[in-house]
Amino acid sequence: MALVRSKFSRFVTAKNKTNRAWVQRHITDPYVRQAQQRGYRSRAAFKLLEIDEKDRLLRPGQYIIDLGAAPGSWSQVLRERVSGQASRILAIDLLPMDPVAGIEFLQGDFQEPEVLAQIDQWLNGRSVDLVLSDMAPNLSGVGVADAARVMHLGELALEFAAQQLKPNGALLVKTFQGSGFSQLVEAFKKVFQKVNQRKPSASRAESSELFLLGRDLKIQSKTDETKV
């Protein structure tokens, strides 16, 4: 009997090949191996480490908010590099996250009034030194729609940071080159005096992923300069 292969079977075969290629790349990735050796929850830790080596974002005594924190690799880096009794770090995500020693965690949507109220309570009248955002949307596979979701998350992080940062504070946001990217850069430039793009070596070369770093607010934060 002749073997008949349907379009579906060809699709499944192609998908399986793609999955196998991804698995092979993942297990041979040097950053994956280093993350396992050093106890980081994902290879993303090395992206923040490399950016910090260049830009010196992390210092003892800082107040930091980590948006889109799960699974917690950036929070692990913060725990290592930001220490001391004067430091406080708040990790926020829609998803649950296993505890990281020294990190306070809030599960919820930072846009929601009740979550914002909890953030204000945590701050207790202070502004933050640094806002980090490693947020990424659930992708649909439709390029235009996915690009819009990515840029929207960047805009939300920017709006949040503009309200929460000290005048000399900084915002680091993961984003992707593509539709809407130049508009996000321009939005950063309206808020920050210094705006830079970073592509750490831990970001795969074939990925359009990069990070936008804004430093020193052009605009006044949500309260007066008496905040410390």
- What b-and-e string marks burial along 80-96, b requiring 16 or more CB atoms within 10 Å of the CB? ebbeeeebbbbbbbeee
Burial (CB count <10 Å: 0-12, 13-18, 19+), residue 34: middle
Pick from 200, 153, 151, 222: nearest CA to 45: 200
Tokens standing for 5?
């292969």
Q: 3-state SS of 119-157?
A: HHHHHCCCCEEEEEECCCCCCCCCHHHHHHHHHHHHHHH
In single-letter form, the type of residue at position 163 comes to Q
Cβ-Cβ contacts under 8 Å for 47 (sequence gap 6 or more): 200, 202, 203, 211
174 is catalytic: yes
From CA 161, how far away is CA 119, in angstroms rounded? Answer: 12
Residue in 7, 17, 47, 174 annotated catalytic: 174
From CA 133, how far away is CA 35, in angstroms rounded? Answer: 20
In single-letter form, the type of residue at position 98 comes to D
| Residues designated as active site | 174
